[in-house]
Amino acid sequence: MSRYVLPLSVLGTAVGGAVLLKDFVAGGACPSKATIPGKTVIVTGANTGIGKQTALELAKRGGNIILACRDMEKCEAAAKEIRGETLNHRVNARHLDLASLKSIREFAAKVTEEEEHVHILINNAAVMRCPHWTTEDGFEMQLGVNYLGHFLLTNLLLDKLKASAPSRIINVSSLAHVAGHIDFEDLNWEKRKYDTKAAYCQSKLAVVISTKELSRRLQGTGVTVNALHPGVARTELGRHTGMHSSAFSSFTLGNLRLTADANHKPSQPTSASFLKLRNPEDHKCGVTHQLHL
Q: Helix, strand or coil for residue 279?
A: coil
Residue 107: CB atoms within 10 Å: 23
CB burial of residue 78 (10 Å; 0-12, 13-18, 19+): buried
How far is the C-alpha of 103 from the C-alpha of 110, rounded, in Å?
Answer: 11
Q: How far apart are CA 46 and CA 4, in angstroms?
A: 51
Is the Cβ–Cβ distance between 139 and 148 less than 8 Å?
yes
Catalytic residue among 4, 147, 194, 200: 200
CA distance 170 to 175: 15
* R_g of the chain, CA atoms, integer Å: 20
Q: How far apart are CA 260 and CA 114, in angstroms?
A: 34
Identify whether 200 is a catalytic site residue: yes
Residues labelled as active-site residues: 200
